[in-house]
């Protein structure tokens, strides 16, 4: 086991272990954070000559349901190792008939329908070192990195997987799936897909000045789209397993294409708001 400060990474992926299983060399790194432990160790490897940190969102063995994930610890851990650009693949349900199993959507908006999740580092509470972060109100008008979205879309097309460019990901609390009424309401609002983990990842990444891009793999039609018994956990896992190799290819191509020098607005999210979160290394 390597000490947490001995290795660095510039890019991060928050997803399952199947996304890095084929890398030749992966180093496991444990990271302590002021917010408790992240979902699991970080696994550092190399993709196209670039150092990447992979973090299993639900832990090994999928032991953490969405509402119990320590999102703050996850983003803090990635940032503390030098990560500045993050890809966040997730499994979602399609809210429209055309968004069926196997579709890939790169959203440009999200809607938060969770409850009780801590979604800020700047909550006015003291950290273990006694410092108190200043309260700030970060802009989330455009929640995803434009450069990251371009890289993801181009990577999908290069892999012969025509993606849906844009759309709204509605994030629910989980771990249950939606009722038919909820699903129909989501679709009636014009929202595209529904998932359980995209929030507060995007918000916390923005507060750390990170670039964050969501890649939403549709595993099912949500309950209100089609007749039948509705989505099951087994169905989600089966469709995800069928597409994990393709998703891995897209992610690796996107990681290779992410710009080395960030010229997007993401690093400037806190400009004029604060001098930075105590204890977090800057760029």
50 and 256 Cβ atoms separated by less than 8 Å: yes
* Nearest of 48, 50, 45 to residue 17 by alpha carbon: 45
Catalytic residue check, 222: yes
Task: Kindly list the distances between the CA atom of residue 50 and the CA atoms of 12, 86, 95, in Å, as whole numbers in the listed order.
Answer: 11, 13, 36
Residue of 142, 220, 245, 283 marked catalytic: 220
Residue of 32, 40, 123, 222 marked catalytic: 222
Catalytic residue check, 129: no
User: How far is residue 280's CA from residue 79's CA, in Å, rounded to a whole number?
Assistant: 8
Residue 182 forms beta bridges with which residues? none
Residue 85 forms beta bridges with which residues? 11, 211
User: How far is residue 67's CA from residue 113's CA, in Å, rounded to a whole number?
Assistant: 12
Give catalytic residue positions: 220, 222
């Amino acid at each position: 086991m390597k000490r947490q400060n001995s290795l660095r990474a510039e890019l991060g992926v928050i997803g399952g272990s199947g996304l890095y299983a084929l890398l030749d060399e992966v180093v496991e790194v444990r990271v302590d954070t002021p917010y408790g432990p992240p979902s699991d160790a970080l696994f550092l490897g190399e993709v196209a000559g670039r150092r990447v940190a992979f973090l299993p969102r639900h832990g090994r063995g999928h032991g953490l349901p969405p509402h119990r994930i320590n999102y703050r610890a996850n983003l803090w851990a990635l940032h503390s190792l030098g990560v500045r650009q993050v890809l966040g693949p997730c499994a979602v349900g399609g809210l429209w008939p055309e968004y069926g199993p196997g579709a890939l959507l790169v959203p440009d908006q999200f809607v938060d329908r969770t409850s009780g999740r801590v979604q800020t580092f700047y909550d006015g509470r003291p950290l273990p070192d006694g410092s108190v972060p200043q309260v700030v109100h970060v802009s989330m008008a455009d929640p995803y990195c434009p450069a990251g979205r371009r890289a993801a879309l181009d990577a999908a097309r290069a892999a012969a997987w025509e993606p849906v460019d844009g759309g709204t990901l509605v994030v629910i609390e989980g771990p249950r799936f939606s009722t038919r009424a909820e699903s129909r309401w989501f679709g009636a609002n014009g929202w595209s897909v529904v998932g359980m983990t995209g929030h507060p990842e995007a918000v916390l990444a923005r507060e750390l000045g990170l670039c964050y891009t969501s890649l939403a793999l549709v595993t099912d039609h949500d309950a209100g789209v089609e007749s039948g018994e509705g989505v099951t956990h087994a169905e989600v896992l089966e469709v995800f397993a069928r597409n994990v190799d393709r998703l891995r290819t897209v992610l690796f191509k996107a990681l290779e294409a992410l710009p080395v020098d960030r010229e997007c607005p993401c690093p400037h999210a806190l400009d004029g708001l604060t001098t930075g979160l105590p204890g977090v290394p800057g760029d």
